[in-house]
Amino acid sequence: MAISVKESGDDDSVMSDINVTPLVDVMLVLLIIFIITVPVVIQTVKLELPKVTNLPTTTKPENLNLSTTNGANGCEMYIATAKQANTQELRERAAKFLLDEVNKQKARDGRVHDLPEAHIRVDANAPFRCAGGVVFALQTAGFQKIGFISEPPAGFVPTR
């Protein structure tokens, strides 16, 4: 506590000093309480997140390229950036595309070497359900390798 000693002739003057010691004591106690309680309140799940590398894709003619965006009537899906399709048409065209590629490989040497991949480009403003619908349609069509194509950040240099 602070003690104020007044001179005998200054009894009528107003004391304008503020004692900050109690304020500092309260703030330190609150700081200690928050330091102790915050780790208890926050519950986290320990995850091992995948390490991501952004490598340039090699475009092969047997890969299926798709695009999806948010249009006026909902999600718009495009096969090979030209033909617009709904989910049912996408599933049918993708299954036909996959079957044609498998038959081409079998015709060459009698066996399937590598199944084609599906590469999806999703507009940044499209809702997640658009990308999810395309992935689901491709999975039901039989595609096992589905990848998302994105733009690397400016100045990115790929390393292997």
For residue range 72-126, what is the model confidence (pLDDT) as tens digits?
A: 777 888 887 677 778 888 888 888 888 888 888 787 777 777 788 888 888 888 8
Among residues 138, 157, 149, 37, the alpha carbon closest in space to that of 96 is found at 138
Please tell me the distance from the alpha carbon of residue 128 to that of residue 126, in angstroms, as a whole number.
7
CATH 3.30.420 is right for the domain spanning 64-149? yes
- pLDDT tens, position by position, 114-154: 788 888 888 888 888 888 888 998 999 888 888 888 776 66
Q: What is the helix (H) or strand (E) element at residue 66, kind and residue range?
A: strand 64-71
Please tell me the distance from the alpha carbon of residue 124 to that of residue 127, in angstroms, as a whole number.
8
- pLDDT tens, position by position, 39-84: 877 777 777 766 666 666 667 777 888 888 887 777 888 887 677 7
**Secondary structure of residue 106 in the 3-state scheme:** helix
Among residues 80, 86, 81, the alpha carbon closest in space to that of 137 is found at 86
Please tell me the distance from the alpha carbon of residue 119 to that of residue 80, in angstroms, as a whole number.
10
